[in-house]
Amino acid sequence: MTKIILDLDMGIDDALALAYALGSPELELIGITATYGNVLVQDGVRNDLALLELFGRPDIPVFVGESHALAKDGFEVLPISEFIHGSNGIGDVTVPDAAACCQKQSAVDFLIDSVAKYGDDLVIVPTGAMTNIATAMRRSPEFAERAHIVFMGGALAVPGNVNACVEANISQDPEAADIMVRHGKDVTMIGLDVTLQTLLTYEETRKWREYGTPAGQLLADATDYYIKAYETTAPELGGCGLHDPLAVGVAIDPTLVTLLPINLKVDLEGPTRGRTIGDENRMGESATTRVAVAVDAPRFLTEFMARVGKVAAGL
Ligand code: BDR
Ligand code: CA
């Protein structure tokens, strides 16, 4: 079993990524570190705890992460994030607060300690703003050296979803994402190049609802909210993008995607601020980052439904 930490900005596809991880026998989820993006970090923590309880795993610890971007003093949820994920991050579906509380240790300290403790047996999957990861790298060169990271974010050969060249998770904190891709030694990017090819429709969510469980109901209702938002923002797709779950899928099985080794950077200045692109200053060096450029979408969807289906059925 591979140990995994999910660094989530608990929105709807983050919830699907959590369910995917919990339904995967290859993975041991050792903790969730909360970040911001789809929601404020404190709302992310609440959702993490509530969904862990709903999914029958209240034993998994949740750690509070950084609350805003490295170059900013604060953070407010963007109207577009609220439109896509609902004002509570989970499609305005009501889930009771969990009995469990978050941990006293910070997300950054937990990330650093876990990499020191587990090394190659651990993979970290960030699916929101990358501020926790960059802060851990700044504090601990050992973390940057040894962490295995598969992140959802960026767009290499396709347009962004914030503007023509910028993806949402990178846009939350471009400086943090740049630190992560330039200082990490094993970083895999699962960006819009592949995640917009893995789509879910009402046909699949109906199956979760039919289990008649609270978990199945939540997953179906929240995802229907997300699909409905996509009908407005990207009607040409015919479903919602399974962004964050694909990163978990690749953490388990990299053969789901085709990986291009390329040293990345994030543009920090000018009109392309937030763009993920090849680093012209490291072209000759061996690549520390890989970008997924193709995906076996049918195989991923089969895996996704089998694993999330277990959680929807009540584990
Ligand atoms: C990413 O942005 C967030 O809104 C989603 O949860 C996903 O992580 C997609 O661009
Ligand atoms: Ca996310």
Three-state SS string across 220-288, please? Answer: HHHHHHHHHHHHHHCHHHCCEECHHHHHHHHHHCHHHEEEEECCEEECCCHHHCCCEEECHHHCCCCCC
Question: Number of C-alpha atoms within 13 angstroms, CB side, residue 72?
Answer: 16
Domain architecture of the chain: domains with CATH: 2-313 (3.90.245.10)
31's enclosing H/E stretch is strand 27-34
Q: Which of 16, 33, 222 is nearest to 126 (CA)?
A: 33
The DSSP 8-state label assigned to residue 11 in this structure reads S
Active-site residue list: 9, 243
* Pocket test residue of 242, 243, 250 for ligand 1, highest count of atoms within 8 A of CB: 243
Q: How far apart are CA 40 and CA 182, in angstroms?
A: 27
* pLDDT profile of the chain (315 residues), mean per 10: 97 98 98 98 98 98 98 98 98 97 98 98 98 98 98 98 97 98 98 97 97 98 98 95 98 98 98 98 95 98 98 92
Residue type, 231: E
What per-residue confidence (pLDDT) applies to 208? 98
Q: Which two tokens stand for residue 147?
A: 């962490």
**Residue having the nearest C-alpha atom to atom 4 of ligand 1:** 38
What per-residue confidence (pLDDT) applies to 96? 96
**CA-12 nearest atom, ligand 1:** 6
127 CA distance to ligand 1 centroid (A)?
A: 7
Q: How far is CA 305 from CA 11, 134, 239, 300, in A?
A: 19, 32, 15, 9
What per-residue confidence (pLDDT) applies to 300? 98
**Residue having the nearest C-alpha atom to atom 8 of ligand 1:** 127
What per-residue confidence (pLDDT) applies to 315? 72
Q: Which residues contact 152 (CB under 8 A, 6 or more apart)?
A: 17, 125, 126, 127, 169, 190, 191, 195, 243, 244, 246, 247
Q: Which two tokens stand for residue 105?
A: 């240790």
pLDDT in tens, 268-304: 999 999 999 999 999 989 999 999 999 999 999 999 9
Residue type, 140: S
- Cβ–ligand 1 distance for 213 under 6 Å, the answer no
